């Protein structure tokens, strides 16, 4: 069976607002005088909790005072405090789980595209680096969990994207053949995952990092979910 597997954050849904709120809650709990901005930092939010914490810590002055303009090394090397990130991460996860869909919205046309693929006989699933329990909760809260025959999260298996095995397992659990599948995503991680699995990759351009997707040379770029069924048909039949 032909299969289409989706990334979640930044691909099917804009989760950045709730992720940033959770990161800011963690900074507050740690008494750190820094906050991320929902608009400016959306791209980092979609790279995960630790990336957000690292970005926030990079904006602290050496004496612990937050910078006024948000300047700082984007990789967090200004502090290098991985122990502090380890402390903040479970706080962030708890805060996120408590308010997982306050600001999150599905991208326009996402549901219609998934339904069209299912109607055309494709198996449809999700492969995300969000923890499985949080992904399950979010999809349920958004009312779309039943659209997906499989869900593989960051902690479902012993490995995560860009290792190809989570993608292959998402295909298998959806009832498909890994050799006749493709991945729809929004990041270099998704591009590398598909490449490692030897399957086509479609990268969306409507997320915060959309302008960077062409440089990753995917098999297709997607500007509008309405075009996805035709793109899938061209790539895997």
Hey, how many other C-beta atoms are within 10 angstroms of the C-beta on 36?
24
User: CA distances (Å), 47 to each of 9, 20, 93, 121, 216, in order?
Assistant: 8, 11, 14, 32, 16
DSSP assignment of 151-196: EE-TTTSS--TTSSHHHHHHHHHTT--GGGEEEEESSHHHHHHHHH
Residue tagged active-site, from 7, 14, 18, 41:
7
What is the residue whose two structure tokens read 């699995």?
197
Nearest to 197, CA basis, from 183, 187, 211:
183
7 counts as catalytic: yes
Residues marked active site are found at: 7
């Amino acid at each position: 069976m032909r299969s289409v597997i989706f990334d979640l954050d930044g691909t099917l849904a804009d989760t950045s607002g709730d992720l940033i709120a959770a990161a800011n809650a963690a900074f507050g709990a740690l008494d750190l005088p820094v906050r991320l901005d929902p608009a400016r930092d959306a791209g980092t939010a979609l790279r995960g909790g630790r990336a957000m914490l690292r970005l926030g810590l990079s904006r602290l002055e050496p004496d612990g005072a937050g910078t006024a303009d948000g300047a700082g090394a984007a990789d967090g090397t200004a502090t290098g405090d991985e122990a502090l990130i380890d402390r903040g991460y479970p706080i962030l996860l708890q805060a996120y789980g408590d308010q997982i869909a306050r600001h999150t919205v599905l991208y326009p046309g996402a549901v219609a595209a998934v339904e069209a693929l299912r109607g055309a006989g494709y198996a449809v699933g999700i492969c995300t680096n969000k923890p499985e329990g949080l992904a399950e909760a979010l999809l349920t809260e958004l009312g779309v969990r039943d659209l997906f025959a499989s869900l593989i999260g960051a902690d479902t298996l012993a490995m995560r994207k860009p290792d190809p095995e989570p993608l292959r397992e998402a295909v298998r659990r959806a009832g498909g053949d890994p050799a006749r599948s493709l991945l729809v995503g929004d990041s270099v991680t998704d591009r590398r995952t598909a490449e490692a699995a030897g399957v086509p990759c479609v990268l969306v351009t409507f997320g915060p990092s959309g302008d960077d997707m062409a440089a990753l040379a995917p098999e297709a770029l997607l500007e509008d979910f309405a075009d996805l069924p035709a793109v899938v048909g061209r790539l895997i039949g």
